[in-house]
Amino acid sequence: MKTEKNMTNDQIVFTLILHAGNSKSDSMEALKAAREGNFVLSEEKQRSAEQELTAAHQIQSTMLADFANGEEFPVDILMVHAQDHLNDAITTLDLTKEMVMMYQKIRNMEGKKGE
């Protein structure tokens, strides 16, 4: 696989898992920060989650391009696991963004109620 010339297939897959897992963790931290009313930290964590997701997507895109160019690589349980992590990270970030907006609206409504 041409993704990283010095890396084995397993190392590439584990790097994909790493970035996807980091993205999901950052998303969950963003959600927790929003729940606690810390929207600045929440935004920082969302940006970090997006950066990690971008890194994971770059790996996946390179793998797909390599495959389209005739490169062979094993699709084993680790690859399936990595793709599962990536899909989970995407969904988690999407839902986090929506829920943070809900927390912000709730916070704003609570503020207006107290006036």
C-alpha span between 4 and 77 (Å, rounded): 20
Chain segment 92-109, per-residue pLDDT in tens = 999 999 999 999 999 999
Q: How confident is the model at residue 5, as a pLDDT? A: 64
Buried b / exposed e along 42-67 (16+ C-beta atoms within 10 A): beebbebbeebbebbbebbebbeeee
For residue 30, what are the contacts with CB-CB under 8 A and spacing of at least 6? 41, 42, 43, 44, 45, 46, 49, 96, 100
The pLDDT score that the predictor gives to residue 50 is 98
pLDDT of residue 44: 98
Q: What is the pLDDT of residue 92?
A: 98
35-84 pLDDT tens trace: 999 999 999 999 999 999 999 999 999 989 988 999 887 889 999 999 99
Match 């994909």 to its residue by tokens.
16
Q: Which domains does the chain have, with CATH numbers?
A: 9-110 (1.20.58.80)
Residue 9 has pLDDT above 60, yes or no: yes
Candidates 19, 57, 81, 85; catalytic one: 81
Active site residue 81: yes
pTM (two decimals): 0.88
| Spatial separation of the C-alpha atoms in residues 46 and 38, rounded to whole Å | 12
Count of beta carbons in the 10 Å neighbourhood of residue 26: 24
